[in-house]
Amino acid sequence: MTIKQVSEKYDISQDTLRYYERIGVLPPVTRTAGGIRDYTEKDLSWVSLALCMRSAGMPIEALTKYVKLCMEGDSTIPARLDLLCEQRGKLVRQRDQINETLDRLNHKIELYGEAVDNGVKQSWM
């Protein structure tokens, strides 16, 4: 699959794909004899993982470290596990904060809805 096709499939710019490969967010992509990137299924799995982790908020540095650990082999599985567990912990805390915010918003919406329904005019925060 060409870089253009990958770009379109994952809705990511070709420049970002090249950048991710250059800094190590993606391992080196398979190339043709002429040096053209030719993304294999394995390469696409890496792209998919990188996009998933980035959308989850994983910093570039952590993702680069994860890829490097993967390239070093099975002896790094404990370190990879630690890195992923740390990221999961951050996501859980972020989710909890979002849930608290949603609860507060829902409460305010309920109060304002009642005020509108009852014609009450009060100044609430």
Domains of the chain: which residue ranges? Answer: 3-118
Q: Give 51's strand partners.
A: none
Q: d(Cα 65, Cα 84) in Å, to the nearest integer?
A: 11
Kindly state the average pLDDT of the residues 97-118.
93
> What confidence score (pLDDT) does residue 34 get?
93
pTM of the model: 0.77
Q: d(Cα 119, Cα 28) in Å, to the nearest integer?
A: 64
For domain 3-118, the CATH class is mainly alpha
Question: What are 16-64's pLDDT values in tens digits?
Answer: 999 999 999 999 999 999 999 999 999 999 999 999 999 988 999 999 9
> What confidence score (pLDDT) does residue 49 get?
96
